[in-house]
């Protein structure tokens, strides 16, 4: 239990953070009110195609470019150095492979950071811990704001000494965060966990697979929420976890959207709507709930959890598909189902059928590793199973990036082709006058390039 002085101070911090972000640049559009009802998409989103409540995150835009040239845990040119630096910054990768933290994994505490995993050459970047006393959550975003993480894999392949501290990804006491195209496996706590005083969060286009029993959980969107939150869970795949696919437990006056996801092979429960904090308001739209080999016939697609209820949830349910033999919805949901959502969605959801194909083709960190390819193929073939222990991280060849003479994060060849100069650093210039900074344009081009590999290579 946190002392009252902490709660008051941190509530003030979140309010100030939200105010600063709302005021720091009119290009972001009108700030939504606390309920999210007047959501207006930002004119200058976190990146092209960013969706949801986290899409205003500035990340490291306008800051220094920090090149990750080493896969070591610590030292110059490491990811830890970039994470622990202060001020706006963008982590770009000049190497590919596995970063295994041999000490306590770093925490993202200083605001305004972009971790651009799509910049890694070859087969991308995977994070892991070393087990034992340093076996803690490899990717933690805590007490901060304006964080963007894309195309990073987190694989908990070793066992730590404290299960409750072994998520794959944790977002705690933070605002304006977007996780997009990440992948995570083998957590002994949640694969992804939102905790405490979060607000304006998006988790999108990601793959969360194989939570480890007896606490195999996909996503705990909110635990111990200190205040109402605006939270988006969009376009993700949860596969091979017993329950919490996802767990939805927020305070009243929150705005929560769970849309266009695929949930596969839950053992007992898929989506769980809780009422512990006075009743979650949530829109559950355009999702596919799909039975797998481990799904019990009495498993539930959408559950109303009334344990320690302190007020009824408010649930809008539309255009979801339930595939296979299990119970679709808790009958008591009829008592709390709305004819329209409390909060307008931040985007226009596609149909469940369209979202199913999009998720299987495009979710997760790219280039996809064999684990993500396997889980996608499991969904398509209705195969696979829960895992009792972590697997093995696939080997990744060490590949060096293309030349970047001026060290501004953009390859020389790309700069020459796009009107920029490889001889002087100009990441935040606009060489072609299209209103998009040079580095933002390169990051989007690289994102499209790695996503496109699935079409060229075939196989999920």
Distances (CA, A) of 321 to 257, 375, 385: 17, 20, 21
Residue with tokens 């207006």: 40
pLDDT in tens, the chain (460 residues): 333 333 333 443 344 344 333 333 323 333 333 445 567 778 889 999 999 999 999 999 999 999 999 999 999 999 999 999 999 999 999 999 999 999 999 999 999 999 999 999 999 999 999 999 999 999 999 999 999 999 999 999 999 988 888 999 999 999 999 999 999 999 999 999 999 999 999 999 999 999 999 899 999 999 999 899 999 999 999 999 999 999 999 999 999 999 999 999 999 999 999 999 999 999 999 999 999 999 999 999 999 999 998 999 999 999 999 999 999 999 999 999 999 999 999 999 999 999 999 999 999 999 999 999 999 999 999 999 999 999 999 998 888 899 999 999 999 999 999 999 999 999 999 999 999 999 999 999 999 999 986 444 444 5
Structural domain includes residue 293: yes
Same-domain check for residues 358 and 445: no
Structural domain includes residue 9: no
> Model pTM?
0.91
Same-domain check for residues 51 and 160: yes
> What is the DSSP secondary-structure string of 142-166?
ES-EEEEEESEEEE--S-BS-GGG-
Burial of 337 (0-12, 13-18, 19+ CB in 10 A): middle
> What is the DSSP secondary-structure string of 192-228?
EEEESS-EEEEEES-EEE-PPTTS-EEEEEEES--S-
Total domains, the chain:
2
Same-domain check for residues 301 and 444: no
Are the CB atoms for 101 and 75 separated by under 8 Å? no
As a whole number of angstroms, the distance between CA 385 and CA 391 comes to: 13
Structural domain includes residue 118: yes
Identify the domain containing residue 423 by its residue range: 412-457
Backbone region of residue 100 per phi and psi (left: phi > 0; alpha: psi in -120 to 50; beta: other values): beta
Same-domain check for residues 422 and 302: no
């Amino acid at each position: 239990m946190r002392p009252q002085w902490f709660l008051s101070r941190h509530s003030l911090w979140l309010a100030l953070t939200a105010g600063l972000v709302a005021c720091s640049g009119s290009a972001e559009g009108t700030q939504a009110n606390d309920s999210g009802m007047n959501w207006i998409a930002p004119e200058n989103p976190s990146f092209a195609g960013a969706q949801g409540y986290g899409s205003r995150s500035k990340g490291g835009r306008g800051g220094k470019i920090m090149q990750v040239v080493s896969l070591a845990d610590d030292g110059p040119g490491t990811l830890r150095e970039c994470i622990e630096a202060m001020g706006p910054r963008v982590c770009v990768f000049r190497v590919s492979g596995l970063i295994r933290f041999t000490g306590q994994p770093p925490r993202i505490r200083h605001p305004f950071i972009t971790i651009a995993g799509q910049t890694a050459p070859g087969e991308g970047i995977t994070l892991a811990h070393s087990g034992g006393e340093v076996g803690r959550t490899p990717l933690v975003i805590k007490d901060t704001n304006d964080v963007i993480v894309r195309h990073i894999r987190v694989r908990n392949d070793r066992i730590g000494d404290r299960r409750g501290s072994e998520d794959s990804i944790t977002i705690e006491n933070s605002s304006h965060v977007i996780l997009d195209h990440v992948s995570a496996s083998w957590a002994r706590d949640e694969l992804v966990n939102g905790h405490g005083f979060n607000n304006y969060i998006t988790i999108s286009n990601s793959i969360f697979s194989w939570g480890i029993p007896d606490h195999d959980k996909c996503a705990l969107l909110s635990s111990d929420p200190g205040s109402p939150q605006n939270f988006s869970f969009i376009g993700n795949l949860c596969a091979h976890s017993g329950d919490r696919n996802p767990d939805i437990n927020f305070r009243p006056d929150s705005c929560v959207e769970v849309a266009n996801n695929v949930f596969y092979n839950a053992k007992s429960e898929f989506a769980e709507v809780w009422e512990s904090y006075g009743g979650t308001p949530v829109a559950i739209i355009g999702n596919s709930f799909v039975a797998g080999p481990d799904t019990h016939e009495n498993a539930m697609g959408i559950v109303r959890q009334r344990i320690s209820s302190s007020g009824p949830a408010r649930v809008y349910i539309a255009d979801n598909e339930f595939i296979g033999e299990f119970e679709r919805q808790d009958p008591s949901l009829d008592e709390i189902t709305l004819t329209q959502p409390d909060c307008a969605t931040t985007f226009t959801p596609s149909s469940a059928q369209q979202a199913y194909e999009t998720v299987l083709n495009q979710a997760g960190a790219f280039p996809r590793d064999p684990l993500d390819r396997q889980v996608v193929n499991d969904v398509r073939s209705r195969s696979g199973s829960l895992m009792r222990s972590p697997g093995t991280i696939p080997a990744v060849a060490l590949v060096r990036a293309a030349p970047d003479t001026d060290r501004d994060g953009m390859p020389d060849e790309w700069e020459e082709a796009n009107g920029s100069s490889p001889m002087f650093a100009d990441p935040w210039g606009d060489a072609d006058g299209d209103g998009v900074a040079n580095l933002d344009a390169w990051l989007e081009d690289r994102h499209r390039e790695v996503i496109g590999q699935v079409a060229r290579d075939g196989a999920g």
